[in-house]
């Protein structure tokens, strides 16, 4: 039989072990307890962000590439710093690049949740499921450039099922590099918010049945994904957002008579109910005149395009070509009446991006000569020229990068490049550099040169971060 003193010693020893294990757990636990829903990211930045890609629109909200001194989630939540992670990436092959865990709003870890990893362009990279502790891990020897993202796969089921959780999406503004400590991201899933309301004829006030209410995300990773519902005979609709993240999304209301209205971007809290009543009217029309800044004469053959608020909302009629008198007309803008951006492109002229402030007036736009950009790329560590890669200037529209409007050049042996901006206007240009053995670079041209001036030539310099 065991003595009383022996039992007491055993109890004390077990108690000490428990206390030590609890202390170790809290030292190694990957994150503080969230005070809300959404995303918390944990990582000391390995480099400063290279800049955002927001279209120069006053009052525009956060975009997946917004510049920030701290990692800034698109979903509700906050960025925090934690103790260094114990699981470091030190393997020569397939190091741990991104890890994290998924929990609900009661901080309960969620197993068997599918997590998708996307690169900075929104292209799918990999998919993993959370383990029994709600932890996910992505291993790779390839870097992730600023703007990469992770998100939960939408749960399958009836959208009206109250037990479904809304998908969560998070975009990171720093690189994730092999051989460096992995980025830790905490994803918090909550009850889906709901939008509901009435769609009616703006002039008569009559309800519109079978109007399509379509919700789309502005995150590049969710391109082509949507959720929609049709109004009933009273013009009513109600939709739990379970197929797209309820952050940074847009809604288009449209009927069979090609009447529509675009609402957003919006972001809703878990469980929030947002009432949105919408009146539909005939599409807005635009009329304009294109002339030469050199001699004020009209220019024919210029293509005028309305940039879509989202690619899903693009209208096939939202463009025209100027006639011999320089005049043009667009019957259907396909986007916000108060947020219309026009892209003008003509042979032997520099492209122009301009915002329309008044759709009731004739829109006069002058075009100047062609615009050239020269530059040099160097290694940020050694200062030596970077000689192998390509430089792309792409147009950033309201819904993201429009890769149909790009100008590109290869890097020369001395690290220089030179090109004409024939399709991409400077005030909407995103500079994308891809070079072997370097982290991809992405920043607005406006952060590298003063695009506010009406210049014909720009000179820029870019320092690239070498891979570890």
Residue-wise pLDDT for 404-423, tens only, equals 888 999 999 999 999 999 89
Alpha carbon separation from 269 to 71, 168, 195 (Å, rounded): 20, 11, 11
How many Å from the N-terminal Cα to the C-terminal Cα in the chain? 62
pLDDT of residue 42: 38
Residue-wise pLDDT for 62-78, tens only, equals 333 333 323 332 232 22
Question: pLDDT: is 312 or 362 the higher one?
Answer: 362
Query: What phi and psi, each to the nearest 5 degrees, are found at residue 26?
Result: -70, -30
CB atoms within 10 A of CB 398: 25
CB contact at 8 A, 302 and 290: yes
Please compute, for residue 247, the number of CA atoms within 13 A of its CA located in the half-sphere on the CB side.
Answer: 25
Pairing of strands 96-104, 183-189: parallel
Alpha carbon separation from 9 to 2, 17, 22, 23 (Å, rounded): 11, 12, 20, 21
Query: Which residue in 182, 190, 137, 170 sits closest to 71, CA to CA?
Result: 170
Residue 10 predicted with pLDDT over 80:
no
Query: Does 265 sit behind a cis peptide bond, omega within 30 degrees of 0 on the bond before it?
Result: yes
Question: pLDDT: is 451 or 387 the higher one?
Answer: 387
Q: Which two tokens stand for residue 60?
A: 């525009």
Residue-wise pLDDT for 366-387, tens only, equals 998 888 999 999 999 999 999 8
Question: pLDDT: is 169 or 398 the higher one?
Answer: 169
Coil vs helix vs strand at 17: helix
Residue-wise pLDDT for 314-345, tens only, equals 666 688 999 999 999 988 776 666 678 899 99
Please compute, for residue 301, the number of CA atoms within 13 A of its CA located in the half-sphere on the CB side.
Answer: 4
pLDDT of residue 337: 60
Domains and CATH numbers, the chain: 29-191 (2.60.40.10), 194-280 (2.60.40.1120), 286-367 (2.60.40.1120), 371-464 (2.60.40.1120)
Q: Which residue has the tokens 């918390």?
A: 40
Q: What is the DSSP letter of 293?
A: T
CA distance 238 to 195: 6
Indicate the pTM of the whole model. Answer: 0.69
């Amino acid at each position: 039989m065991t003595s009383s003193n022996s039992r007491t010693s055993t109890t004390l020893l077990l108690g000490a072990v428990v206390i030590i294990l609890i202390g170790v757990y809290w030292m190694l636990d990957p994150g503080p307890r969230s005070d809300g829903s959404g995303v918390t990211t944990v990582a000391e930045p390995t480099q400063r962000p290279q800049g955002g890609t927001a279209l120069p629109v006053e009052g525009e909200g956060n975009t997946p590439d917004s510049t920030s001194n701290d990692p800034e989630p698109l979903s509700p939540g906050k960025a925090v710093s934690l103790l260094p992670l114990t699981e470091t990436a030190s393997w020569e092959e397939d190091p741990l690049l991104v890890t994290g865990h998924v929990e609900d709003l009661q901080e309960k870890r969620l197993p068997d949740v599918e997590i998708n990893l996307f690169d900075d362009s929104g292209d799918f990279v990999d998919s993993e499921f959370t383990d029994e502790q709600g932890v996910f891990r992505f291993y790779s020897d390839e870097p992730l450039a600023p703007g990469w993202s992770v998100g939960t796969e939408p749960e399958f089921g009836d959208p009206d099922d109250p037990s479904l959780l809304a998908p969560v999406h998070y975009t990171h503004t720093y690189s994730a590099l092999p051989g460096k400590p992995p980025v830790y991201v905490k994803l918090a899933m909550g009850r889906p918010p709901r939008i509901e309301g009435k769609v009616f004829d703006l002039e008569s006030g009559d309800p519109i049945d079978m109007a399509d209410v379509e919700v789309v995300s502005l995150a590049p990773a969710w391109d082509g994904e949507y959720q929609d519902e049709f109004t009933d005979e009273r013009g009513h609709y109600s939709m739990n957002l379970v197929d797209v993240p309820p952050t940074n999304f847009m809604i288009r209301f449209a009927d069979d008579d090609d009447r529509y209205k675009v609402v957003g971007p919006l972001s809703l809290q878990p469980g929030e109910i947002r009432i949105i009543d919408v009146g539909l009217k005939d599409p807005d029309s635009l009329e304009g005149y294109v002339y030469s800044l050199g001699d004020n004469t009209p220019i024919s053959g210029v293509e005028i395009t309305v940039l879509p608020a989202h690619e899903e909302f693009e209208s096939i009629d939202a463009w025209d070509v100027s006639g011999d008198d320089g005049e043009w007309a667009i019957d259907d803008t396909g986007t916000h009446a108060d947020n219309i951006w026009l892209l003008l492109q003509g042979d032997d002229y520099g492209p122009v991006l301009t915002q329309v402030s008044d759709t009731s007036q004739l829109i006069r736009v002058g075009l100047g000569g062609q615009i050239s950009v020269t530059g040099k790329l160097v290694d940020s560590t050694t200062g030596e020229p970077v000689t192998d890669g390509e430089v792309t200037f792409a147009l950033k529209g309201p819904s993201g990068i429009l890769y149909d409007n790009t100008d590109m050049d290869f890097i020369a042996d001395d690290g220089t490049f030179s090109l004409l901006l024939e399709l991409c206007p400077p005030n909407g240009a995103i500079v994308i550099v891809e070079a072997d053995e370097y982290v991809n670079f992405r920043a607005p041209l406006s952060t590298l040169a003063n695009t506010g001036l009406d210049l014909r030539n720009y000179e820029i310099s870019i320092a690239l971060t070498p891979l570890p």
